[in-house]
Amino acid sequence: MALDPSSSIKSKWEMTRSIIGERREYPLVAGTNLVEEAQWMIAGGTTTQQVTTSTGAAVTEVPMGVAINGRILATTFTNFETGTVPAAPGPYTFTLEHASLVTNGYSGFADAYIWDVTGATELEVAGAAVAGTSVTLAAATGVVTFAAGDAGHAFQIRYRWNLTVAESREILRQSAIGRGSETTFNKVVLAHGHCTIFTTMFDNDAAWVLNQQLGTGVNGNPVLGAGGVLTIFENNNLGTRFGRVVELPSATSPYLGVEYNASAGPSVP
């Protein structure tokens, strides 16, 4: 009987479906802080090629692939939930399965994306709840507050939260024998070449578009973001275009599927 990935111990990138063109080891740029596995890496160095995490600060960053050697090096994870806004008279709130949500560096609010299934529209995480437009989300508690006009609406939400020590042990797979070798030897193994990675290191606030690959400056395009996280052009307005989305997160899989070719630069052939 085949292993069901959704019921097994998880990882920052899903090993059962990801396809890696080649594994290549690179020395790290001095001072690189690898805080999570599957961070998106770029070229660096002065006399020899090294790698460091993407910053999303320029369109000239050279994509090198995804860091895959850390095993259970993880501080965050993603989740996908569905629900229904309570009916009148409310309160029009919904409590997520996890608290302590990551703050999105671009919006300043919780790193989450909410889709109103009934209204067929995105509900932005904002400072006030407006029917058919926005909600509020308390990052510390995971409580979503909808507007009264959204009562009874079905919705979907994906988000990224900070793992507790207990969650990290329960959710993620066992550590490899060589865990920590990145720090010891100041090197890292990347998923290089033509790869398809199912990853949790993506901007959950982003409105991801399946199969879109239209060039720098186009809304919905995947671009390198700050802290080794993949985002989209309209959130960052600056990062290097890299890869295309081949699968969106769902109730059965919290991962974003991304195809890329680090050997050929920012495009996928």
pLDDT greater than 50 at residue 249: yes
> Per-residue pLDDT tens for 188-223?
889 999 999 999 999 999 999 998 876 656 678 899
Residue 11 pLDDT class (50, 70, 90 cuts): confident
Residue 232 pLDDT class (50, 70, 90 cuts): very high
What pLDDT is recorded for position 177? Answer: 45
Which of these ranges, 65-69, 82-86, 92-96, 224-228, has the smallest mean pLDDT? 65-69
Global confidence as pTM: 0.86
The answer to whether residues 38 and 72 touch, using CB atoms and an 8 Å cutoff, is no
> How far, in Å, are 20, 159, 230 from residue 205 at the CA level?
27, 8, 11
> How far, in Å, are 65, 123, 135, 140 from residue 190 at the CA level?
6, 36, 38, 33
Taking the C-alpha atoms of residue 134 and residue 161, their distance in angstroms, rounded to an integer, is 20
Longest Cα–Cα distance of the chain, Å, equals 66
* Residues 6+ away with beta carbon under 8 Å from 18: 191, 195, 196, 197, 198
Taking the C-alpha atoms of residue 116 and residue 158, their distance in angstroms, rounded to an integer, is 12
Residue 74 pLDDT class (50, 70, 90 cuts): confident
What mean pLDDT do residues 6-34 have?
Answer: 83
What pLDDT is recorded for position 69? Answer: 66
Residue 137 pLDDT class (50, 70, 90 cuts): very high
The answer to whether residues 185 and 211 touch, using CB atoms and an 8 Å cutoff, is no
> What's the chain's average pLDDT?
87
Residue 33 pLDDT class (50, 70, 90 cuts): confident
DSSP string for residues in 75-113: SEEEEEEEEEPPPTT---EEE-S--SBPBPTTTSSBSEE
pLDDT greater than 80 at residue 13: yes
**What is the side-by-side strand order in the sheet with 256-261?**
194-199, 256-261, 244-247
What mean pLDDT do residues 225-230 have?
Answer: 94
Taking the C-alpha atoms of residue 178 and residue 158, their distance in angstroms, rounded to an integer, is 32
> Per-residue pLDDT tens for 49-58?
999 999 999 8
pLDDT greater than 70 at residue 7: no
Residue 5 pLDDT class (50, 70, 90 cuts): very low
Residue 3 pLDDT class (50, 70, 90 cuts): very low
